[in-house]
Chain A
Amino acid sequence: MEDLMAARLQMAVSLGFHIIFACIGMTMPILMAFSEWKWLRTNKQVYLDIAKAWAKGVAIFFAVGAVSGTVLSFELGLLFPGFMEHAGAIIGMPFSWEGTAFFVEAIALGVFLYGWNKLNKWVHWTSGIVVGISGVMSGIFVVSANAWMNSPAGFTWENGKASNIDPVAAMFNDAWFSQALHMTLAAFVATAFAVAGVHAFLLLKNRNIQFHQAAVKMALSFGAVAALLQPVSGDYAAKDIAERQPAKLAAMEALYKTSKPADLVIGGIPNNKEERVDYAIHLPGFLGFLAHGDFDAEVIGLDQFPEDERPPVLIPHIAFQVMVGLGMILALAGLLFFAFRIWGKHVFQKKWWLTFIAILTPMGFIAVEAGWVVTEVGRQPWIIYGVMKTKDAVSTMPGLQYSFYTILFLYVMLSVILVWIMRRQIAGITTHYPSAVNPD
């Protein structure tokens, strides 16, 4: 395996692994604090039980997130030292803020987990809120650093070196807002639907458990709101990319030739040789509408870029279809959730509904992974868009594939163990929490 490919795969595996725990770390604390808040307001035992059970999950996932995040901060240099040598000084700021947010998050989580019976109830609750807010903040900071790679700003590039560095302008680059918004919502959608799905699955086994009913309801409320907002933020992001990174948009949409009007290509398999998409559905003019708000607008295709500056098409296109497709299904689920809340609460007890929610468990996370594939592969061959190519940044150490195999093995092993442990944690709910036992 080529060193460049090995380094990219190792980064992909490390990021793909970490992102799951990062999403959980952004969302779960808010859910657990919400449940505690409901307990403080209503004094119902079930909400306290749920908050405690979720907090245990947070503790386990946060630990994995903390170590896999530490790995990433080193890997940037281990795999792409050429990138860090120039970019480090420019994007150091969001990374230091991320470190600070992580520190606050870790301390507040320690207070939350070990302060149940030692603190004033509202102080305890506040610590949970602090965990959630700092989790979301650290996510936003890291995404802002990534956005800089897509939309470099805050420096002048001359003779292969950066000068006139302005870290604030770099952090608040043109892409940061659309990416941070899209990612934060994605974290909420993915985690909330996963939580709801697991509890729905447990309800399918035993319908009458108050604990799981309340948990599904709380998680879905968050997930539904986020899932309905996500298409709006996605549309905003797409229009943004059309302006800034037309090559990425062209790869996502598999648009080989600049077109006016431009078809929206749904599904299909991009055929690089013939420069067309086989077996796809074409919606005339819709791509122009999505990208520029006008059915007659011209959309730039890959033909506008020299061959050595074109991103791969197959992977971003398929990943994009997966992301959008799953996002739509989740938004539909959110819509149904609100509709049934108003017109038919009895549906929430129905087997088909619980099965539907249970099936959605992994979908948000698959969409998150697919979205990262779109944004990362779609930026290739650049590591800093328009400034530095990935192949020029990769480490000079030979044999990077062994590094990749090791990390791959480690993370696959950890994932298996985690699933195994979480199953046991879930099975243990009934013994720890009275509200999780069937009253009959």
Chain B
Amino acid sequence: MLTLIILVLAISFILYAILGGADFGAGIVELFAGSKGEKTISKSIAPVWEANHVWLILAIVILFTGFPKIYSTISTTLHIPLMIVLIGIVLRGTSFTFRHYDDPHVGAHKYYSVFFKVSSFVTPFFLGVILGAMILGRISPGAPENFYAGFIAPWFNAFCFMMGLFTTSLFGYIASVFLIGEAQYHVEQQRYGKLAKIFLLATMVIGFLVFVVAEWQGHHLFAEFIASVPSVIAMSMVLLVCPLIFYLFTHPIIIYLRVAVATQVTLIMLGWFSIQFPIVLYSDTGHHLTFYNTQAP
């Protein structure tokens, strides 16, 4: 039963990364590529973006039902970044819908766009920050020394910000690939193809920097990565798929391209899971929160 619950949690996380990634990423793409793609982006995410929330909600429900201690620790110590994520989710969803349905000639239109783009960037950034804080291990589950140590220091650091950038860049990559298939014209398709390449390279560079910064912050992530065979296999496969993807950028067969990128994202997530399984949340006391020691009665 426990294995099944963990499996569902992992699947909902991966699905949120892929589907939520495509839809948050669309806003990131618009932020970098300008409003030329607004129509395509609106049309392609309008019917689905609300439904994508379900994977996040499912993950949350599994956490509080199955592993309540993890949930309550995260929501207490990471209160601030979580609030930022929530505000981001609200602003993004509403500004997108308002832009889609409100009279396009109204002056507010450009403000809806600004809010949509900025919150599309900020929200996944802080999702990454939260993941970073869970990995870095500066969270103290007990009573904190002071406000800074308890509620700021766990996430306000270079490693977490690098994780934030990694998440946004990855989401931007997923979305550019997704939009190649949604684009109406060849020119537009090429534009997203080019962006996808840039985001892919950026994701790799930032991914490398995540390891560097982790060392600098005293967390030996690279050693943990090398020690985990499934993780090394997963990352190698992520890299091996890249030439195929580059080929597909120039000769797009949409379904292959999407499957390839979804596989990459899945592998990245699986690689991360296998590095730290069964630990979910590293704490500064050395008493980490795992799936086993936080199980609900």
Contacts and interface: CB of A to CB of B under 8 A. Distances in A.
Contact of B90 (A396, A414, A421): A414
Contact of A78 (B53, B83, B94, B297): B83
A81 B69 CA distance: 9
B230 interface: no
B233 interface: no
B86 interface: yes
B181 interface: no
A100 B76 CA distance: 27
Interface residues of B, number: 50
Contact of A114 (B47, B66, B85, B296): B47
A310 to B, nearest CB: 28
A85 B61 contact: no
A198 to B, nearest CB: 17
B240 interface: no
Which of the four size classes fits the interface of chain A?
A: 35 or more
Interface string A406-428: 11001000100100010011001
Interface stretch (A87-95, A229-237, A261-269): A87-95
A122 B51 CA distance: 23
Given A74-B82, A78-B83, A165 B61 contact: no
A108 B72 CA distance: 33
A96 B89 contact: no
B127 to A, nearest CB: 12
B75 interface: yes
A96 B57 CA distance: 9
A424 B93 contact: no
Interface in A84-129: 84-86, 88-89, 92-93, 95-96, 99-100, 102-103, 106-107, 109-110, 113-114
B293 interface: no
Given A63-B50, A82-B72, A165-B296, A88 B64 contact: yes
Contact of A60 (B47, B85, B97, B106): B97
A165 B297 contact: yes
A70 B53 contact: yes
Given A56-B101, A85-B71, A99-B57, A161 B297 contact: yes
B53 A81 contact: no
B54 interface: yes
B51 A103 contact: yes
A70 B86 contact: yes
Interface in B19-72: 46-48, 50-51, 53-54, 56-58, 60-62, 64-66, 68-69, 71-72
B284 interface: no
The 4 closest A-B pairs by CB, nearest first: A92-B65, A88-B64, A89-B296, A77-B75
